[in-house]
Amino acid sequence: MRAEQRSGSLMAAPYGLYLLVFAVYPMVFAVVLVFLQWDLVTAPTFAGVDNVRLLAHDGRFWRAVANTFVFLSIHVPLQIVTALGLAIALNRQLVGRSFWRAAFFLPVVISGAVVAILWSNLYATDVGLINRVLVRIGLAPVPWLTDPATAMPAIAVMVTWKNVGFYVIIYLAGLQYIPRSCQEAIELEGASAWQRFRYLTLPSLLPQTILVITLSTINGFQLFIEPYVMTGGGPLRRTYSVVLYLYTNAFAYQKMGYAATIGVALALIIGIVVLIQRRVIGKAEAL
Amino acid sequence: MRIFRRIALYAALSLAALTFIYPFLWMASATFKPRGEFGSLALIPEHFTLDNYRTMWARAPFGRALLNSTLVATTITLSVLVFGSITAYAMARLRFRGSPVLNAATLAILLVPGQLTLIPLYTLIVQLGWTDTYAALIVPYLFNATAILMLRQFFLQIPQSLIDAARMDGMSEMRILFTIFWPLSKPVLSIVAIFTFMGSWNEVLWPLLVVREAHLMTLPQLLTVFALGGGAGSVGVSLASAMVLVVPVVVAYMFLQRNFIESMAGAGIKG
């Protein structure tokens, strides 16, 4: 018993130490930094609630938050529809099922930096692949990343494309849990394909849909490398993301207190948005 | 009717698959095209050239970045496997004071978005004097909460009788872990290895903060800096540099797709 105690403590000690230094301390210090002004060169000074007051009136920060909501309003629904559609298509006897699955999952394993660089070229106005195709079928080219109206939607579509394979796997797992007997029963009742989808598949997949909504929302708030590489936050700051703003404050302006304040605010906003989503979905389910 | 629906299904699947694969094929082929041909939709270059690769290699230290990324990702993966297993074994199979606290803390950090601790971690690295060192890239990732929870979950299912018998033979807990538990845990170890390695290999925000010297940059970081700083000068060169990062991943993915999907989907759901 004593020996077990001792080896247990010894074996867990490095992780305990790691948690203290790289998890607990940064979390506590994040809150401390909110009240400091610090450029990392001179000594930090106490700033009271200056950072918070500044943030509350910082048009750039709220622009970034608003941009994120634009991003989410396109990304989340599109992600659900595409992932669900592909998962349903895959959920049957198919030749080469693992090939299709692997093809859809491919962009998930590729670095976001590479995907951003690749898609800047696909979206390029004059020589981009997408506009070449549009012109070939007789449409006008679109300035995807340079028009303030299309830049954020273009990024949202790209991120949906990159992550869809991941959500397909979630939905596929959910589809496997729908009991065969239920499927047979509803088919015997003479339900159409749409009715089967609407009254059996969709309600059965509610837990997966909630997961997709939560994960893609959190992911959306953490948008960074895409605008950093593709647009630099422009045009007219329409693709500026919260993390890009945080990074700029830390890296370019050396404002550690303010950058940390943005980080704390972002964590709070994510928490609130996810809670509200859960609430709304819970209410909708009860109806 | 049935046959038509079947054909339509395969046509739709092929179109979808093409949407995911074609851009990467186009990217690969663009790196072998001369400047004038980038706009072409064709996958086979009209005039095959290796100039993009030569330029890329000459203008920025991509060989060094490949080495850096490999070193960083491998060290982190080994540490997460070895130290993560030791921790998970203690948490799953040994009673000691503090075990419930560790468990709760591990679950709690998974709920905290990384952006909250990003700046405090960065200032910590600066104060430790670790900017522009491998330590900055490696040490904060030596443990991984998702990995520990997965390993712990798996270790909980291994029968107690194996431990008891080994203890009777006088084996230490470490030996029980590495000679009895590890051989039984290959599936979960490979899952942890893949998502840890890939996470580190693709990470770009953290290196951008703590490393400024070109010869210490990881691949995704150097790639980003190179493309943004205009060092590339042309589409072909910047895509050629992206290939250094992508090719090893795609080759590994072709052989181990099933493991990749299981690992990266599983970690995403847990984390």
What domains can be seen in chain B, in order of their start residue? Answer: 2-52 (no CATH), 60-270 (1.10.3720.10)
HSE (CB half, 13 Å, CA atoms) of B138? 17
Q: Is A29 on the interface with B (CB under 8 A)?
A: yes
A44-49 long-range Cβ contacts below 8 angstroms, 24+ apart:
A44/A256, A44/A257, A47/A257
B139's CB contacts (< 8 A; 6+ apart) are A22, B130
Task: Collect all residues of chain A within an 8 Å Cβ-Cβ radius of residue B41.
Answer: 129, 132-133
Which run of H or of E encompasses A36? strand A36-37
Model pTM? 0.94
Q: Could you tell me if A68 and A25 lie in one domain?
A: no
What share of chain B has pLDDT > 70, as a percent?
Answer: 99
- The verdict on A70 and A2 lying in the same domain is no
Pair A213, A275 in one domain: yes
Does the residue A42 lie in any domain? no
**Residue A257 above 90 pLDDT?**
yes
Half-sphere exposure of A127 (CA within 13 A, CB side): 13
Mutate to test the interface with B, among A93, A117, A164, A213 (most CBs of B within 10 A): A117
Residue A137 included in any domain: no
Beta bridge partners of A46: A36
The answer to whether the CB of A240 falls within 8 A of the CB of A64 is yes
What residues of chain A, 34 to 93, have a C-beta less than 8 Å from chain B? Answer: 38, 40, 86, 89-90
* CA–CA separation, B6 and A110 (whole Å): 31
d(CA A27, CA B149): 21
Q: Which of A198, A173, A23 is nearest to B144 (CA)?
A: A23
Contacting residues of B for A23, CB less than 8 Å apart: 105, 109, 117
Query: What are A185-242's pLDDT values in tens digits?
Result: 888 888 888 888 888 899 899 999 999 999 999 999 999 999 999 999 889 999 999 9
| Per-residue pLDDT, A282 | 80
| Cβ–Cβ below 8 Å for B90 and A14 | no
Query: Encoding tokens for residue A185?
Result: 């029963």
Taking an 8 Å cut-off on Cβ atoms, the answer to whether A5 and B96 are in contact is yes
A268 inside 8 A of chain B by CB = no
Best of B37, B119, B167, B246 to substitute, by most chain A Cβ atoms within 10 angstroms, is: B119
Tokens at A6, concatenated: 């001792």
Question: Given a cut of 60, is residue B271 above it in pLDDT?
Answer: no
CB contact A27 to B (< 8 Å):
yes
Looking at the fold, whether A29 and A67 belong to one and the same domain comes out as no
Of B12, B21, B116, the CB nearest to A103: B21
Closest Cα in chain A to B265? A166
Does residue A117 sit within a domain? no
SS3 of B65-117: the string is: HHHHHHHHHHHHHHHHHHHHHHHHHHHHHCCCCCHHHHHHHHHHHHHCCHHHH
Q: Residue window 171-210, chain A: list those with CB within 8 Å of chain B.
A: none
* A212 within domain boundaries: yes
pLDDT of residue A1: 67
CA R_g for chain B: 23
One domain for residues A25 and A74: no
Interchain contact A259–B (C-beta under 8 A): yes
Residues A107 and A168 in one domain: yes
Q: Indicate whether A92 pLDDT > 80.
A: yes
pLDDT of B131 strictly over 70: yes
Rounded Cα distance, B226 and B56, in Å = 9
A187 and A223 inside one domain: yes
d(CA B14, CA B20): 10
In the predicted model, what is the mean pLDDT of residues A74-103?
93
Judge whether A166 is closer than 8 Å to chain B, CB to CB. yes
Claim to verify: residue A69 and residue A204 sit in the same structural domain = yes
What CATH number is given to the structural domain containing A245? Answer: 1.10.3720.10
Query: Cβ–Cβ of A12/B96 closer than 8 Å?
Result: yes
Task: Return the SS3 of A84.
Answer: helix
Average pLDDT over residues A248-264: 95
Q: How confident is residue B1, by pLDDT bands cut at 50, 70 and 90?
A: low
Given a contact cutoff of 8 angstroms between Cβ atoms, the answer to whether A16 and B103 are in contact is no
Q: Which among A171, A121, A11 has a CA at the least distance from the CA of B234?
A: A121
A66 and A167 in a common domain: yes
Chain A residues in contact with B87 by the CB 8 A cut-off are 11-12, 14-15
A82 and A3 in one domain?
A: no
Contact in structure between A55 and A262 (CB atoms under 8 Å): yes
Q: Chain A residues with CB inside 8 Å of B139's CB?
A: 22
Position with higher pLDDT, B143 vs B265? B143
CA-CA distance, A166 to A108, in Å (whole number)? Answer: 7
Q: What is the ipTM score, two decimals?
A: 0.92
Domain containing residue A10: 1-33
For residues A270 and A229, state if they share a domain. yes
List of residues 6+ apart from A22 with CB closer than 8 A? B121, B139, B140, B143
A163 within some domain? yes
Q: What is the pLDDT of residues A12-46, one digit of tens each?
A: 999 999 999 999 999 999 999 999 999 988 999 99
Residue A202 sits in the same domain as residue A107: yes
- Contact assessment for residue B190 and residue B183, using Cβ atoms and an 8 Å cutoff: no
Residues 6+ apart with CB under 8 A from B223: A111, A113, A114, A117, B65, B238, B241, B242, B244, B245
Yes or no, beta carbons of B41 and A133 under 8 Å apart: yes
Question: What pLDDT, in 10s, does the model give residues B169-208?
Answer: 999 999 999 999 999 999 999 999 999 999 999 999 999 9
Q: B265 pLDDT exceeds 90?
A: no
Averaged pLDDT for residues A238-257: 95
Alpha-carbon span B33 to B238, nearest angstrom: 12
**Contact of B213 with B132, CB cutoff 8 Å:** yes
Q: What distance in Å separates the CA atoms of residue B194 and residue B73, rounded to the nearest whole number?
A: 10
Please say whether the beta carbons of A227 and A245 come within 8 A: no
Over residues B39-81, the pLDDT tens digits come to 777 888 888 889 999 999 998 999 999 999 999 999 999 999 9
Give domain status of residue A200, yes or no: yes
Q: Judge: A22–B9 Cβ closer than 8 Å, yes or no.
A: no
Closest by Cβ to A122, choosing from B23, B249, B268: B23
Q: Using 50, 70 and 90 to split pLDDT, how confident is the model at A104?
A: very high
In a domain, A125, yes or no: no
How large a percentage of chain B has pLDDT more than 90? 76
Contacts of A226 in chain B (CB under 8 A): none
Mean pLDDT of A123-147: 90
For the cut 80, the answer to whether the pLDDT of residue B38 exceeds it is no
Percent above pLDDT 90 for chain A: 75
- Over residues A160-177, mean pLDDT: 94
Mean pLDDT calculated for residue range A38-66: 94
Kindly determine whether residue A121 and residue B198, on different chains, have CB atoms separated by under 8 Å.
no
* Alpha carbon separation from B143 to A171, A247, B195, B205 (Å, rounded): 30, 24, 13, 19
Check pLDDT > 80 for residue B144: yes
Residue in A with minimal Cα distance to B22: A103
Q: How many domains does chain A have?
A: 2
Domain membership of residue A65 (yes or no) is yes
What is the helix (H) or strand (E) element at residue A45, kind and residue range? Answer: strand A45-46
